[in-house]
Chains A and B, each alone.
Chain A
Amino acid sequence: MKKFLNDPEDFVDEMLDGIYRAHPQLTYVAEDRRCMVTAKPRTGKVGLATGGGSGHLPLFLGYVGEGMLDGAAVGGVFQSPSAEQMYEVTKHIDQGAGVVYIYGNYTGDIINFDMAAELADLDGIKVTQVVGNDDIASSIVGEEHKRRGVAGIFFVFKAAGAAAAEGLSLDEVTRIADKARLRTRTIGVALSSCVVPEIGHATFSIGPDEMEIGMGIHGEPGISRKKLAPADSVIDEMMERVFAEQSFSDRDEVAVLVNGLGGTPKEELYILFRRVSQLLGVRGVQAKHVWIGEFATAMEMAGASISILHLDEELDRLIGAPANTPFFSHYKA
């Protein structure tokens, strides 16, 4: 393992200390750095909270800011934050208009967010939940509720964040978040393992000439491991699975996220996007919004994921709306 560390046990807290020093628009509550909230709350707005394990930056906390989220509960590396931390964030970001939880479909996160919602309810805070499950490699069609949440949750944050910024109600923001969730599909591919700092060695082993399609962002097993193929063939195989689940008509519009998992250069991501764009073009589908870079990583894992959001008029407007967070800024074209 080669990492910049002091004591591995301090990994998350020192990372957070750095984040707060770098980004004064973020602060924390309950005297706990792991209870992150925006320093610039907007009165009367529906609050948006997320949470999850560390090790995925910019996910989750990187999207706390204008036009996106209001708070994030931060867990240990690949570990859920506690219900109490989520509850503290909830209490703080509620402006009387209610709070939407948007997080990934993982058992620990679900049970803790449910508990936090229960505690918030005792205080009269209305909470709704939208659980990201975009990873099509993690379960079959018909069993979507078992799918994990990965990079595609970015689109849910973006759409819901813009809806809340427009001043829409809790029910409307929830409906939009859920629509973005239902219209997003993601598939990933891994080339090398991640290393959890406190463990100190690779989470899984993979041969120097191998790839694994569908691997999860904590190293959960994917759907096929084989010899690394040329980039175009890798994308062809991945996108075939996406197209099998999303029925596009000529002139439909999509948002595309080509996400690096932490150890893959941007150059390679653009090579992947090139092929995604060609495949969309063949189907007459227009990539209306495109983002390429690191949005949801798995420590130093080499690899990438492709997320496709099937737009409609409403989602097009919200995805294109401005946002300004420490890790993501977007200005209206």
Chain B
Amino acid sequence: MDVISARDLPGLFHAWQTVFSEQREFLIALDGKVGDSDLGITMNKAFAAASEAVSKEEEGATIAKILRTAGVIMAKTAPSTMGTLTATGFIRASKALERASVLGTKEVAKFWRAFAVGVADRGKAQVGDKTLLDVLDPIAASLEIAAASGEDLVNALSAATLVAAHALENTKSMVAQHGKAAAFQDKTRGLQDAGATVGFLILQTMRDFVASKTPM
């Protein structure tokens, strides 16, 4: 698979739905250490609703339209902080890809950059604050480099997934500055950030989806 087309998107959202359903308990446990344990429930709900809404899009819907549908339904069904941040990410990606007819490496880089900027705006967070942004920013940077050097999509996403795994590991040494976790400050040291884990899973699933449709 060289590019993700609009027709492939329902499959990708279904893959996200499956992953967040499988990871529900893991995310609840991870969030429960310093948050309020609702992350697994939120993400499960958000992607289940998005997948269902996207599957009902009419034939010929553009990539931007599909991403927008997903973002809007997430905002409505999962109005907690992470749900709102993820919804914002998809809505901003939709705006950035207004004219895109397919998602190649260049467009996927735009998708992640817009996602990261949206999350930073909405959450008023900066890189290093131990949030979702600490994986989104390196993911976007990695994909931008891949796009500039003409990497194909599966290789670009594989490289970005490695970068994201490393970035996720790095959140262990950070101290939370936002949300309920901020009240725990030093206790958050040593724990990987729950929101950042979600960011990693979204990317990894995108990568696996593309790889599974790419002949070796």
Q: Residues on A close to B: CB < 8 A? A: 82-84, 111-112, 114-115, 118-119, 122
Contact = CB atoms under 8 A, between A and B. Distances in A.
B81 A115 contact: no
Nearest to B79: A82
Contacts, number: 34
Nearest to A81: B79
Contacts of B72: 119, 122
B76 A84 contact: yes
Interface string B50-90: 00000000000000000010001001100101001001100
Identify the 6 closest CB pairs spanning chains A and B, nearest first.
A82-B79, A84-B76, A115-B84, A115-B75, A83-B75, A111-B84
A1 B20 CA distance: 43
B33 interface: no
B122 interface: yes
A122 B75 CA distance: 13
A83 B86 CA distance: 14
A111 B87 contact: no
B4 interface: no
B91 A118 contact: yes
A119 B75 contact: yes
28 contacts: A82-B79, A83-B76, A83-B79, A83-B84, A84-B75, A84-B76, A84-B79, A111-B81, A111-B84, A111-B122, A111-B123, A112-B79, A112-B84, A114-B121, A114-B122, A115-B75, A115-B79, A115-B84, A115-B87, A115-B122, A118-B75, A118-B91, A118-B122, A119-B75, A119-B91, A122-B68, A122-B72, A122-B91
Nearest to A114: B122
Q: Which among A84, A115, A119, A122 has the highest number of chain B CB atoms within 10 Å? A: A115
Q: Which among A82, A84, A118, A122 has the highest number of chain B CB atoms within 10 Å? A: A118
Main secondary structure of the interface of B (DSSP, over half): helix
Contacts of A114: 88, 121-122
Contacts of A84: 75-76, 79
Nearest to A82: B79
A260 B13 CA distance: 52
A118 B68 contact: no
Interface in B109-162: 121-123
B96 to A, nearest CB: 13
B68 A115 contact: no
Nearest to B124: A110
Q: Which among B79, B81, B88, B121 has the highest number of chain A CB atoms within 10 Å? A: B79
A111 B122 CA distance: 7
A111 B178 CA distance: 13
A118 B88 contact: yes
A112 B122 CA distance: 9
A111 B123 CA distance: 7
Nearest to B178: A107
A115 B121 CA distance: 11
Contacts of A122: 68, 72, 91
B71 to A, nearest CB: 8
A118 B75 CA distance: 10
A22 B156 CA distance: 62
Given A115-B88, A118-B88, 9 more contacts: A82-B79, A83-B84, A84-B75, A112-B84, A114-B122, A115-B84, A115-B122, A118-B75, A118-B122
Contacts of A119: 72, 75, 91
Nearest to B94: A122
Nearest to B85: A111
A196 to B, nearest CB: 18
A82 B84 CA distance: 10
Contacts of B88: 114-115, 118
Contacts of B123: 111
A138 B34 CA distance: 25
B147 to A, nearest CB: 26
A119 B84 CA distance: 11
Interface string B9-38: 000000000000000000000000000000
Contacts of B75: 83-84, 115, 118-119
Nearest to B81: A111
Nearest to B72: A119
B129 to A, nearest CB: 14
Nearest to A87: B75
A83 B122 CA distance: 13
